[in-house]
Amino acid sequence: MRTTVRRWSLALSAAAVLMFPLASWAQLTTYDIDKRLDMESHIGNMTGHAKDGKADYRRYCVVCHGPLGDGNGESFPWVDPKPRDFQLGVFKCRSTPTGTLPTDEDLFDTIARGLDRSNMPQWSTFTKQQRADLVAWVKHFSPRWANEKPGTPIQIPAEPEVTADRIRAGRDVFARVQCWKCHGVLGQANGPSAATLTDDLGRPIAPYNFTEGARPKCGETDRDIYRIFMTGLDGTPMPSYADNIKPDEAWDLVFYLRTLMSQHSKEKEMAKQLNLKPVDPNAPAGQQ
Amino acid sequence: MHRYKLAALLPAVVLICFAALILTRNVNVSAAAEGKISGTVKLDGTAPHMKGIDMSKDPYCSKAHASDPAHLETVVVGSGGGLENVVLYISEGLPASASSEVPTSVPVFDQKNCVYTPHVLAMDINQKFKVVTSDQTTHNIHPLPNPMTGNIPWNQSQPPGAAPVEKSWKSAEVIPVQCNIHPWMHGWFVVVKGPYATTDGSGNYTINDVPPGSYTVTAWQEDLGTQTQKVTVAAGGAGTANFTYKAK
């Protein structure tokens, strides 16, 4: 009887000792596949379920984004820009700061909006529930959603009234933070650094040309444009300016950018009346 | 009867295990009369030619280098063949208590005259570091870690006069960092676990705060790769590890 107790205690202490490394190992494991198949998305009151998004993904998305979500689908060789690698969890169009995960709404909106000048169309035929389910399925490919929360969306103050002063101030911001280094002084995507730009995977990428009538990648409203330069487009050379442009100045810059775009706008009309000249790339910093 | 014994034994065993674990940890910490590891890293052979950098795209940058042309810094060789910008760290043998300590110092990565200074910035996991700009031209600071490691890429602009960017990294990784506006600007964040050092212009280094023990020291050079050596450090003593890289 004594020996059984001893044997048991031995076994137990061995088990207890073994538990420590096991417990810490389990914490470090990022790959929790079961958990990720249960991935959900939350869009307002709607809940998307990864499992319900699988069929649509395999029908509509897999040809580019691939069965593993790594962007390596059958059409990968013929598509430019290349399909997004969902495993990395790095997305261009976010409402959240650079280096953070997008919100579910961000992905939900991207599916409906599509990405202009790419092979990603506007998926306007999907119901909202289908889109929500697809968002959950897209999220399940990356271990990041198991370990991190999306960033806190940047605050966008109410849009002020466009004035001549604001457009002029926006031109100063354009000069100060040197948007023209890539986008060019007229927004023609021909700045001195435009030709050598590459994305995070080393593939050539062109800056946005404001003058061609193309829609900006992450939305065409004033708020979208505000968000684009304040969050940056992760995975591309476009950085976040959130630390260096104040919210009020950001609206000024949005108005100035409108003057560069080919579409007719109030801002464009006002700039013409002001006889606004393009910024001078050779002017010393702070003097335009 | 012995079922009760067993029930009493279980918590006792678990308690003893806990106590043993905590005790051994404390012993490690209190016995640490910390020593150091130092040495020199040299290049054996002719230093490779470092190409000049054409900065004419940005007149501010080219003007800053008018009298002192900029060169690539892939292999920087100083007096007596000493290799600069080699990161040395302890890759094996460090007790958990020493490797989880995060230094309070904040290493600084400067963008000066359109070049990264230093070219290689080493840091501990979770150690804060600062990116500053001394330039009157806009840079974007864009580290490119592999997101699968837990380190997440980000990309921030730093126009003239911008405030420092303060960040840290979650896992050990050699992270390339670049400026897309000035494509020649390329540097490294070398994130390691535990104490580390970077060689100076003469190839010398000292890793401080090393508890006594036997270790493997790894040297990392961006172009010439890694080397390892076994080193023993006595309590309060100094270990030596000199490295020699063959020129390519």
Chain B residues whose beta carbon lies within 8 Å of the beta carbon of residue A207: none
C-alpha distance from B165 to closest chain A C-alpha (Å):
9
DSSP letter for each residue of B19-39: HHHHHHHHHHHHT---EEEEE
Residue B160 sits in the same domain as residue B231: yes
Q: Do A178 and B163 touch (CB under 8 A)?
A: no
Domains: count for chain B: 2
Q: What is the pLDDT of residue A287?
A: 67
C-alpha distance from A64 to closest chain B C-alpha (Å):
21
Top-confidence residue, B34 or A128: A128
Residue A18 has pLDDT above 50, yes or no: no
Please, what is the Cα angle at A166 between A160 and A170, to 5 degrees?
115
Structure tokens at B227: 């080397």
Residue B15 has pLDDT above 90, yes or no: no
In chain B, which ranges are E strands?
35-44, 87-92, 108-112, 115-117, 120-124, 129-133, 139-143, 156-158, 165-167, 173-178, 186-192, 196-198, 204-210, 213-221, 225-233, 238-240, 243-246
Residue A27 pLDDT class (50, 70, 90 cuts): very low
Percent of chain B scoring above 90 in pLDDT: 81
Percent of chain A scoring above 70 in pLDDT: 86
- Phi/psi of residue A171, nearest 5 degrees: -65, -40
Give the CA dihedral A93, A95, A101, A107, nearest 10 degrees: -50
Residue B102 sits in the same domain as residue B65: yes
Q: What is the pLDDT of residue A148?
A: 92
Residue A30 has pLDDT above 70, yes or no: no
For B45-87, the pLDDT digits (tens) are 999 999 999 999 999 999 999 999 999 999 999 989 999 999 9
Residue B92 sits in the same domain as residue B149: yes
Percent of chain A scoring above 90 in pLDDT: 83
- What are the beta bridge partners of residue B215? B231
Percent of chain B scoring above 70 in pLDDT: 87
Residue B199 sits in the same domain as residue B139: yes
Residue A28 has pLDDT above 90, yes or no: no
Taking all residues of chain A, what is their mean pLDDT, rounded to a whole number?
Answer: 90
Mean per-residue pLDDT for B98-113? 93
Q: Which residue of A has its CA nearest to B137?
A: A285
Q: Which residue of B has its CA nearest to A15?
A: B14
| CATH code of residue B157 | 2.60.40.420
CA distance B28 to B41: 30
Residue A112 pLDDT class (50, 70, 90 cuts): very high
For A70-105, the pLDDT digits (tens) are 999 999 999 999 999 999 999 999 999 999 999 999
Q: Which residue of A has its CA nearest to B181?
A: A193
Please, what is the Cα angle at B127 between B213 and B107, to 5 degrees?
100
Residue A23 pLDDT class (50, 70, 90 cuts): very low
Residue B9 sits in the same domain as residue B58: no
Chain B residues whose beta carbon lies within 8 Å of the beta carbon of residue A244: 157-159, 162-163
Q: Do A235 and B181 touch (CB under 8 A)?
A: no
For B155-191, the pLDDT digits (tens) are 999 999 999 999 999 999 999 999 999 999 999 999 9
Query: Edge-to-edge strands of the sheet including B213-221?
Result: B196-198, B87-92, B213-221, B225-233
In terms of CATH architecture, what is A33-147?
A: Orthogonal Bundle (1.10)
Residue B2 sits in the same domain as residue B109: no
The CATH classification of domain A164-274, taken from the options 3.40.50.150, 2.40.128.110, 1.10.760.10, 3.40.50.720: 1.10.760.10
- Residues in CB range of A23: below 8 A, 6 or more apart: none
Q: Do A239 and B157 touch (CB under 8 A)?
A: yes
Residue B21 sits in the same domain as residue B70: no
Q: Where are the alpha helices (DSSP H) in chain B?
A: 2-30, 59-64, 96-99
Distances (CA, A) of A231 to A213, A240, A282, B157, B236: 23, 5, 28, 11, 49
Domain ranges in chain A are: 1-30, 33-147, 164-274
**Residue of B9, B10, B140 with shortest CB distance to A237:** B140
Residue B116 sits in the same domain as residue B2: no
Residue B27 has pLDDT above 50, yes or no: no
- Asked if domains A33-147 and A164-274 share a fold, the reply is yes
Q: Residue B137: how many CA atoms within 13 Å on its side-chain side?
A: 25
Most confidently modeled range among A6-15, A239-248, B10-19: A239-248
Residue A137 has pLDDT above 60, yes or no: yes
Structure tokens at A238: 């476009």
Beta-carbon contacts below 8 Å between A and B: 116
Residue B2 has pLDDT above 90, yes or no: no
For B190-217, the pLDDT digits (tens) are 999 999 999 999 999 999 999 999 999 9
Residue found under tokens 């409203």: A221
Residue B16 sits in the same domain as residue B92: no
CA distance A199 to B214: 43
Residue B18 sits in the same domain as residue B39: no
Structure tokens at A116: 């202009």
- What are the beta bridge partners of residue B232? B214
Specify the pairing of strand B225-233 against strand B87-92. Answer: unpaired
Specify the pairing of strand B108-112 against strand B129-133. Answer: parallel
Three-state SS string over A116-164 comes to CCCCCCCCCCCCHHHHHHHHHHHHHCCCHHHHCCECCCCCCCCCCCCCH
Q: Residue A67: how many CA atoms within 13 Å on its side-chain side?
A: 1
Q: What is the pTM of this model?
A: 0.85
Residue B29 has pLDDT above 60, yes or no: no
Q: Do A17 and B2 touch (CB under 8 A)?
A: no
Mutation site for B-interface testing, chosen from A9, A246, A287 by largest number of B Cβ within 10 Å: A9
Chain B residues whose beta carbon lies within 8 Å of the beta carbon of residue A100: 152
Chain B residues whose beta carbon lies within 8 Å of the beta carbon of residue A89: 147
Residue ranges making up the domain that contains B18 = 1-30
Chain A residues whose beta carbon lies within 8 Å of the beta carbon of residue B2: 1, 4-5
For A170-204, the pLDDT digits (tens) are 999 999 999 999 999 999 999 999 999 999 999 99
For B78-99, the pLDDT digits (tens) are 989 999 999 999 999 999 888 8
Residue B49 sits in the same domain as residue B16: no
Residue A147 pLDDT class (50, 70, 90 cuts): confident
Residue B106 sits in the same domain as residue B26: no
Q: Which residues of B207-244 are buried (b: 16+ CB within 10 A; e: fewer)?
A: beebbbbebebbbbbbebeebebebebeeeeebebebe
